[in-house]
């Protein structure tokens, strides 16, 4: 959330900043702004809304500079106004962009006001600009002022700062929010993620917690929390420009839905390479970590949490050990019972989800040493803090509503399940071969589900005028109903709730009438007959049913019962295949309602604030 980009070069960096902000816009789109050096004071342009609007203003005002910073905002403190948009400026001299939340901002604001500083925004961020200015005024260099100022802060931040009086450098700091440095040839960059700078460089350094950095055209110096110079490893990013482009698609979400066969194939490539469910897929010492695990605790948020809920059915069913799944923001603030033999699994697309990271830190503080991260960005904070890692190879996910990240997380969790089962002697060789075969065919089954798109688009037309919808599933398909409801809420703004189908009669059935569409995930598994009874309960109250099933389920359309079938039942992997229709339903309903599919209101990707 919130995107930061900064550049120092021998050329005009404004086009780089604007291009970078466009690529970071998925992280926040309440407002956008850039600040550059001027003749006597820092120049700034900010606009609420999209980067494109800010770009026009920057062009109109002839913004040109070899040094600058930019920001796309997802507001946490202070409304969506131009005054609250970043960069924030102190005394016309110092400009700052910030991702995160300064928890003690009120206290710092009072302190700075007593020192004579005037505030023009309601943000928590503005205190940081004035604090750095305050220490500069006492004679500190820009870097020293930043390093002193961050000691006064509680909370989370990624920060980049420029100062009119020191035109040859930019400084940056990181604590709790992602920030990387890009290394160019005679030019250097900072960014929230590599997509912002990939057209200029692929050489990156990931700043660590508490790091500060000083960038000049010629070089970059990094310092740890104590201010001691440190060497951080340089990485070569493999993010391709093509993966960040829309190509022939209308939306990134559409592109990412259609990329799922390839994303799944890439995610299982290593597994197919070793030809079996080998612990090494999760890290060098995974056999030792996983062997005598006696239970699993999954921690995640949002869509990743639903991936975890799905995995619970697999793990308890196939491995025979208890598996609990908890929303990370709840786990981190309760008194959890430590169990050294428990495996802690965190799931996060970005690897920077703050709640999940904090939950992991909390688990480790309780003594949990067996930690595994399932993540789509290998160099990010959560995998780096975990002992084992499974890298989902979904590729860059730009659409705010997660799609290919979810299905590849499911693949990773299924691989974990089978690996744990094998380690415990619960997976015979024949069964292992069958599961590998099923996974090998999964991209094809997902493609078949994608081919249902035209039929689903017709359903979406009927959904688009509705205000509410229910999603039902049972067993391992209940989390897919939850995911379907979440997708619909996120991008079409239709109020949707999911229930285990058997729960309907205990309350939610009261909501059902002819205006309530009810989506049912009803593949041909052992609960199908039960689900059919639950569907009858809906029909008897006049509810209209939209049923996703598979060709083996043997039930047809009738008055008020619409059916779309995937070609065949794919057994234990069925939840993955049945995710595709609910994604497509949400996508096409949003299209029909004319909402902004990739940038739904009030949301942003990579949730790096609490």
Coarse DSSP helix, strand, coil percentages of the chain, rounded to the nearest 5 percent: 40, 20, 35
Shortest CB 604 distance to ligand HGA, Å? 7
With respect to ligand HGA, which residue has the nearer C-beta, 2 or 34? 2
Binding characters for ligand HGA, 20-39, by CB under 6 A (x = yes): --------x-----------
22 is catalytic: no
Tokens of 475: 């067993």
Stretch of 50-58, 67-75, 180-188, 238-246 lying at the interface with ligand HGA (CB under 6 A) = 67-75
Minimal CA–CA distance to 371: which of 357, 354, 356, 389? 389
Shortest CB 2 distance to ligand HGA, Å? 3
| CB-closest chain residue to ligand HGA | 1
Residue with tokens 């969790």: 413
Catalytic pick from 22, 255, 487, 605? 605
**Contact predicate 16/10, CB 8 Å:** no
Give burial (CB, 10 Å; 0-12/13-18/19+) of 12: middle
Buried-exposed string 139-164: b where 16+ CB fall within 10 A, e elsewhere: ebebbbbbbbbbebbebbbbbbbbbb
With vertex at residue 219, the alpha carbon angle to CA 216 and CA 220, rounded to the nearest 5 degrees, is 85
- Out of 26, 29, 63, 74, name the contact with ligand HGA by CB under 6 A: 74
Total of residues contacting ligand HGA (CB under 6 A):
18
**Could you give the CA distance from residue 416 to residue 439 in angstroms, rounded to a whole number?**
13
Shortest CB 53 distance to ligand HGA, Å? 18
- Out of 41, 57, 77, 562, name the contact with ligand HGA by CB under 6 A: 77
Tokens of 115: 């020192």
| Strand 180-183 relative to strand 203-206, pairing | antiparallel
Shortest CB 153 distance to ligand HGA, Å? 12
Shortest CB 142 distance to ligand HGA, Å? 21
Shortest CB 83 distance to ligand HGA, Å? 11
> How many Å from the N-terminal Cα to the C-terminal Cα in the chain?
11
- Out of 73, 251, 477, 569, name the contact with ligand HGA by CB under 6 A: 73
Tokens of 14: 């404004």
Peptide linkage before 123 cis (omega within 30 of 0): no
**Contact predicate 221/229, CB 8 Å:** yes
**Could you give the CA distance from residue 603 to residue 4 in angstroms, rounded to a whole number?**
17
With respect to ligand HGA, which residue has the nearer C-beta, 2 or 146? 2
With respect to ligand HGA, which residue has the nearer C-beta, 47 or 422? 47
With respect to ligand HGA, which residue has the nearer C-beta, 123 or 200? 123
With respect to ligand HGA, which residue has the nearer C-beta, 352 or 550? 352
177 is catalytic: no
With respect to ligand HGA, which residue has the nearer C-beta, 81 or 339? 81
Stretch of 92-100, 445-453, 544-552, 566-574 lying at the interface with ligand HGA (CB under 6 A) = 92-100
Catalytic pick from 2, 177, 323, 375? 2
Query: CB count, 10 Å around CB of 38?
Result: 13
Minimal CA–CA distance to 6: which of 27, 32, 35? 35
With respect to ligand HGA, which residue has the nearer C-beta, 125 or 589? 125
Q: Does 516 sit near ligand HGA (CB under 6 A)?
A: no
Shortest CB 119 distance to ligand HGA, Å? 13
**Could you give the CA distance from residue 312 to residue 31 in angstroms, rounded to a whole number?**
40
- Out of 16, 51, 75, 222, name the contact with ligand HGA by CB under 6 A: 75
Buried-exposed string 363-377: b where 16+ CB fall within 10 A, e elsewhere: beeeebebbbbbbbb
Binders of ligand HGA in range 99-138 (CB under 6 A): 99-101, 123-125
Q: Which residues are catalytic?
A: 2, 605
Binding site for ligand HGA (CB under 6 A): 1-2, 28, 73-78, 98-101, 123-125, 608-609
């Amino acid at each position: 959330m919130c995107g930061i980009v900064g550049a120092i070069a021998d050329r005009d960096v404004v086009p780089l900043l604007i291009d970078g902000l466009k690529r970071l816009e998925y992280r926040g789109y309440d407002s956008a702004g850039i600040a550059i050096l001027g003749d006597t004071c820092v120049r700034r342009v900010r606009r609420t809304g999209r980067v494109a609007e800010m770009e026009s203003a920057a062009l109109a005002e002839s913004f040109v500079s070899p040094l600058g910073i930019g920001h796309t905002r997802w507001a946490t403190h202070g409304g969506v106004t131009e005054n609250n948009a970043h960069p924030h400026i102190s005394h016309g001299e110092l400009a700052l962009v910030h991702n995160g939340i300064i928890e003690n901002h009120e206290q710092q604001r009072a302190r700075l006001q007593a020192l004579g500083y005037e505030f023009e925004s309601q943000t928590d961020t503005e205190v940081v600009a004035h604090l750095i200015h305050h220490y500069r005024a006492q004679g500190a260099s820009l870097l020293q002022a930043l390093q002193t100022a961050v000691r006064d802060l509680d909370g989370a931040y990624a920060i980049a700062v420029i100062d009119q009086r020191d035109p040859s450098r930019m400084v940056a700091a990181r604590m709790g929010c992602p920030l990387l440095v890009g290394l160019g040839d005679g030019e250097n960059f900072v960014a929230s993620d590599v997509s912002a700078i990939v057209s200029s460089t692929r050489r990156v350094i990931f700043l660590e917690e508490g790091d500060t950095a000083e960038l000049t055209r010629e070089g970059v110096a990094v310092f740890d929390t104590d201010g001691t110079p440190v060497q951080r490893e340089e990485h070569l990013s493999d993010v391709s420009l093509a993966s960040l482009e829309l190509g022939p698609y209308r939306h990134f979400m559409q592109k990412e839905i259609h990329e799922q066969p390839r994303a799944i194939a890439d995610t299982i490539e290593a597994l197919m390479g070793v030809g079996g469910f080998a612990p090494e897929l999760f890290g060098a010492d995974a056999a030792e970590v996983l062997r005598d695990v006696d239970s699993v605790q999954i921690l995640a948020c949002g869509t990743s949490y639903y991936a975890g809920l799905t995995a619970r059915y697999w793990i308890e069913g196939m491995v025979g050990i208890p598996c609990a799944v908890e929303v990370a923001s709840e786990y981190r603030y309760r008194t959890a019972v430590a169990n050294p033999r428990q495996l802690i699994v965190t799931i996060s697309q970005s690897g920077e989800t703050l709640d999940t990271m904090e939950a992991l830190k909390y688990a480790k503080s309780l003594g949990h040493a067996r930690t595994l991260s399932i993540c789509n960005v290998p160099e990010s904070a959560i995998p780096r803090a975990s002992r084992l890692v499974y890298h989902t190879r979904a590729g860059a996910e730009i659409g705010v509503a997660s799609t290919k990240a979810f299905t590849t997380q499911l693949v990773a969790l299924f691989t974990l399940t089978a690996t744990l089962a094998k380690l415990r002697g619960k997976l015979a060789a024949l069964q292992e071969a069958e599961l590998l075969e099923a996974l090998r065919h999964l991209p094809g089954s997902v493609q078949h589900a994608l081919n249902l798109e035209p039929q689903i688009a017709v359903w979406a037309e009927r959904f688009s005028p509705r205000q509410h919808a229910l999603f039902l599933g049972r067993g391992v398909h209940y989390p897919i109903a939850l995911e379907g409801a979440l997708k619909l809420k996120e991008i079409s703004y239709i109020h949707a709730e999911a229930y285990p189908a058997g729960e309907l009669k205990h309350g939610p059935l009261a909501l059902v009438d002819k205006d309530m569409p009810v989506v049912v995930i009803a593949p041909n598994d052992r609960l199908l007959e039960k689900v059919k009874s639950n569907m009858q309960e809906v029909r008897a109250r006049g509810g209209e049913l939209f049923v996703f099933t598979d060709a083996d389920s043997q039930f047809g359309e009738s008055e008020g019962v619409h059916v779309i079938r995937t070609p065949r039942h794919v057994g234990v992997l069925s939840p993955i295949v049945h995710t595709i229709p609910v994604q497509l339903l949400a996508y096409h309903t949003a299209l029909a309602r004319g909402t902004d599919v990739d940038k739904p209101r009030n949301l942003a990707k990579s949730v790096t604030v609490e």
